[in-house]
Each structure stands twice: as structure tokens, then as C-alpha cells.
Amino acid sequence: MNEISPPVHSVKTLIISSLFSIVAAFLILLFFIAPAEYGIDPTGVGQRLGLMALAKKQPTKLPPQAQSCPTGETTKKWQDIVLITIPAKSSVEYKFIMQPQVELEYEWQSNAGEIYFDFHGEPAGDSTGYFKSYQINKLASVAEKFIIPFAGIHGWYWNNKSDHSIQITLKTKGEYKIKGLIEYN
């Protein structure tokens, strides 16, 4: 029978080839992949080759904001005007503490078209998590007068599913104490 025996240097050749491949892979990662994919360029080669421009920059997620916007319109018709910024892929609530049977007049508008919202109230002293929704919809703006049915915290939940921030201009008038902004991720 004919037996084929492996060359004497095959194990040594395999080890050298493996080590060479590992070093080559590390250098490719260091000089090309890290600058192009992650914006990491410790050697400066990626910058000279223009690879840093390929790095995917993740936008910094800003926290939601509620900013009072006093204008001449505030004193004429509205008690408060607030600009609420909802970051991309985030949800917020804006709330008031109110007593029963008082009127809340409000108007809000999104700068980016329709947005999902839930206008609701949570009874004072309730620790069960119960809330009563008054209006759930997906709209670009709402203007109404509403009689508060019970004492507690009342306001809006907005859910921004888009890839960009959305601003809500909320105008209100009534007997309330502002609780403010609550963020959800």
C-alpha cells in the first residue's frame, strides 16, 4: 500500500501561517476597520486615507425639555405657553395638579405632524397606578376646553417614534399647579 505521509515541516508551517494571519488581521483592524467603522484612529493612517469620514456617527440623544415661552400672547389669551422637546424614540408626559370641576383650556401643536398622545388623569392619593384616559389619538394638534372630573394629576403623554426630535407647543389656561415634565425611554 501507498501511504502518504505529511511533510515534516507541516505543523511548523501551520503555526507560522496562523500567527501571520492573526497579526495581519490585527493590523487590518487597527489601520482600516477601527477608523472606518468606529471613528478610532490611534495611528493617524485612517485620517490620512479618509476613512474617518466613513465612521457612523451616532447623534447625541438630548434629554427632553420643557421651556416656558412668555409672549404677548401669554397675557392676552393664555396663562402659560410651554415648548416641549421630545427626543427621537422617546416618550414624555407633561402634567398639572388640579382640583375637580375646574376648566382647563388648552391647545397644543406638533412641529412634525401627527404624534401619538394620551390625555389622561390620575386620582390624587391613588397608589395603584390607575389612570383615566380622556382622549387617545394620533394628531398634529388639539384645541379644547375640558372640565376636570376629579382631583389629581392631569396631562398628556406623547410618544415620539420617529428618528428626529419633535417639539410640542402647549398653551394652557385654568386653575392648576404645574407639575411639569416626566421622561420615559
* pLDDT tens digit sequence for 102-154: 999 999 999 999 999 999 999 999 999 999 999 999 999 999 999 999 999 99
Look-up of cell digits 496562523: 18
Order of strands, sheet of 115-123, starting from the edge strand that comes earlier in the sequence: 132-139, 115-123, 152-160, 90-98, 177-184
Map residue 15 onto helix, strand or coil: helix
pTM value is 0.64
> pLDDT (tens digit, 9 = 90+) per residue, 48-97?
888 777 776 554 555 666 676 666 555 578 999 999 999 999 999 999 99
* Long-range own/partner contacts, residues 67-76 (CB < 8 A, 24 or more apart): 69/169, 73/171
Query: In CATH, what number does 65-184 get?
Result: 2.60.120.680
Map residue 174 onto helix, strand or coil: strand
Nearest residue to 52 (alpha-carbon basis) of 42, 66, 65: 42
CA 41 – CA 170 distance, rounded (Å): 46
> pLDDT (tens digit, 9 = 90+) per residue, 141-180?
999 999 999 999 999 999 999 999 999 999 999 999 999 9
Residues forming a β-bridge with 91? 159, 184
Domain with CATH 2.60.120.680 in the chain: 65-184
